[in-house]
Amino acid sequence: MPIGYELEPSGMWDRFYRWFAKVSSRYVNGADELPPKEALAGHLAAQRLAYDAVVHVSKQLVVGMTELEAATLLENYLKAHGTERYLHRAFAWFGSHSRFDEYQSYSDYHPSERALQPEHVVILDVSPVVDGYIGDVGYTLCLQPDAELDKAKDFLLQLREDLPKMFASELTAGEIWLQIDERIKNAGYDNVHSKYPHCVLGHRVFRVKPKQGKHLRIGNRSFGWFSLETNMALMKMGLSATLTPEHIGRKLGLWAIEPHIGWAGGGAKFEEILVVEPTRCYWLDDNVPHVLEAKAKR
């Protein structure tokens, strides 16, 4: 699959993939089941652990530290707090990597030896599994004041405010993707999540069988982002599990939503769980770092 997304298909195979993605998004295979109250509490615990990890590691970042070292700190924090399991491996992106510049294939997206500089924007992304429940978050920061990043975060918070209303509307998930894409471009940013595997704005979160020990991971391309166990779960759900421009299936369930935007030299995102029920849509938790930090500045 090529990196990026264009409104017009690039050829026969791209046209076929888009048709297949649209048709298969209707077959949810249980992905849209609404979780019981105790499951929401489980995902909330996993999400809060994920945020604790990224905030803790953000305070340990120093100039000269590599992306690999930052990702290792994230993994060590999770291990010290009771889990070595994950939906996807820990990511750390510095500087232009925070907008996926210089990347030619999905294997390039893994943490590298790039060293942190004072002016670099940093994205930390981690997804622990706690008692089988998945949390998945993204957190953006800079070691020094950055007016462009502050502006980007304000824009992302506006998207955060509007996304539940969009999911509660009659829009399909694919139409939501396209509207967010248009808003990002109209605001003068690049759509960086269009460079994710399947160009996802988000993906479903779910529960896997609780067990101890590490997840297995195979390969280093897009399949290698995720643990083998969660890859198998996602494959079982099919493309209904990914919020792509072609998704026309049911929106009910739990989604990790991750709008990611870029400008010259940097990128920013947030990621957190959105709960979509028949009569309402809401963020699983409003006491998340990017919201609390914005309130503290007012």
pLDDT digits (tens, 9 = 90+) for 216-260: 555 555 445 566 666 566 666 667 889 999 999 999 999 999 999
pLDDT of residue 106: 79
Task: Please give the residue range of the domain that contains residue 228.
Answer: 12-297
Alpha carbons within 13 A on the beta-carbon side of 70? 30
Instruction: Return the structure tokens found at 177.
Output: 């993707």
**Residue 85 is assigned to a structural domain of this protein:** yes
pTM of the model as a whole: 0.91
**Residue 120 is assigned to a structural domain of this protein:** yes
* Region 174-203 average pLDDT: 96
CATH number for position 282: 3.90.230.10
Report residue 268: phi and psi, to 5°. -150, 150
**Residue 209 is assigned to a structural domain of this protein:** yes
What's the domain count of the chain? 1
**Residue 3 is assigned to a structural domain of this protein:** no
**Residue 4 is assigned to a structural domain of this protein:** no
**Residue 172 is assigned to a structural domain of this protein:** yes
* Region 12-16 average pLDDT: 83
Contact between 272 and 283 under an 8 Å Cβ cutoff? The reply is yes
Which residues, 6 or more positions from 148, have their beta carbon under 8 angstroms from its beta carbon? 263, 266
Task: Report how far apart the first and last C-alpha atoms of the chain are (Å, whole number).
Answer: 43
Instruction: Return the structure tokens found at 240.
Output: 């209904």
**Residue 19 is assigned to a structural domain of this protein:** yes
Summarised one tens digit per residue, pLDDT across range 88-118 is 889 999 999 999 999 888 788 889 999 999 9
Buried b (16+ CB within 10 A) or exposed e, 67-81: bebbbebbbebbeee
**Residue 165 is assigned to a structural domain of this protein:** yes
* Region 15-20 average pLDDT: 81
Summarised one tens digit per residue, pLDDT across range 37-49 is 889 999 999 999 9
Instruction: Return the structure tokens found at 256.
Output: 């990790």
